[in-house]
Amino acid sequence: MHTLTDLLIVFVSAVGVILVCDRVKIPPIVGFLLTGCLTGPHGLGLIESSENVEFLAEIGVVLLLFSIGLEFSLSELIRIKRVVFWGGGLQVLVTIVVVWALVEYALGSPESALPMGLLIALSSTAIVLKTLQDRMELESPQGQISLGILLFQDVAVIPMMLFIPLLGGTAESLYRALGILGAKSAGIFLLIFLTQRYLLPRILTVVAATRSRELFLLTAVVICFGVAWVTSSAGLSLSLGAFLAGLVLSESEYSHQTLAQMLPFKDLFTSLFFISVGMTLNVSFVMQNLPEVLAWTVGIAVLKALVCMGVVAALGYPFRTAVHVGLILAQVGEFAFVLSTVCINHKILAGDSVPLFLAFSTLSMIMTPFLIAMAPRIAEAASRAPLPQRILSGFAAPSFTKTNHGEPPLKNHVVIIGFGPVGRNLARAAKSSGVPYAVVEMNPTTVREERKRGEPIVFGDASEKTVLDHVSIRDAKVVVVSLADPSMVRRITVSVRAAAPTVYLIARTRFLSEAPHLIALGADEVIPEELETSIEIFARVLTKYLVPREDIEAMIARVRAEGYHSVEGPQVPMMQWCDLLRDLPDMEVRSFRIMAGSPIAEKTIGALGLRKNWGVTVVALRRNGEWIANPGPETALKAGDVMVVFGRTCDIRKIHPLMRALEASA
What are the backbone dihedrals phi and psi of residue 47, each rounded to the nearest 5 degrees, phi first?
-110, 110
Residue 598 has pLDDT above 50, yes or no: yes
Residue 531 has pLDDT above 50, yes or no: yes
Residue with the bigger pLDDT between 441 and 585: it is 441
616 and 651 Cβ atoms separated by less than 8 Å? yes
How far apart, in Å, are the Cα atoms of 92 and each of 113, 155, 307, 331, 559?
Answer: 15, 11, 9, 13, 52
d(CA 242, CA 233): 13
Residue 632, SS3 per DSSP: coil
Q: Each residue of 25-84: pLDDT tens digit? A: 777 878 888 888 888 887 787 877 666 666 766 777 777 777 767 766 666 667 777 888
Q: Each residue of 93-147: pLDDT tens digit? A: 999 999 988 888 766 667 778 888 899 999 988 788 888 887 878 878 888 899 8
Under 8 Å CB-to-CB from 5, ≥6 apart: which residues? none
Under 8 Å CB-to-CB from 432, ≥6 apart: which residues? none
d(CA 113, CA 416): 49
d(CA 141, CA 419): 12
Residue 184 has pLDDT above 80, yes or no: no
d(CA 4, CA 8): 6
pLDDT of 585: 60
User: Residue 252: which of 488, 73, 389 has the closest Cα?
Assistant: 73
d(CA 655, CA 593): 14
Q: Which domains does the chain have, with CATH numbers?
A: 2-382 (1.20.1530.20), 397-567 (3.40.50.720), 569-666 (3.30.70.1450)
How many other C-beta atoms are found inside a 10 Å radius of the C-beta of residue 2?
A: 9
Q: What is the pTM of this model?
A: 0.67
pLDDT of 237: 66
pLDDT above 90 coverage of the chain, percent: 11
120 and 134 Cβ atoms separated by less than 8 Å? no
Q: Each residue of 272-325: pLDDT tens digit? A: 777 877 887 888 888 888 898 999 999 999 999 999 999 998 888 888 889 999
> 290-298: long-range contacts (C-beta < 8 A, 24 or more apart)?
292/356, 293/356, 293/359, 293/360, 293/363, 294/363, 296/356, 296/359, 296/360, 297/359, 297/360, 297/363, 297/364, 297/367
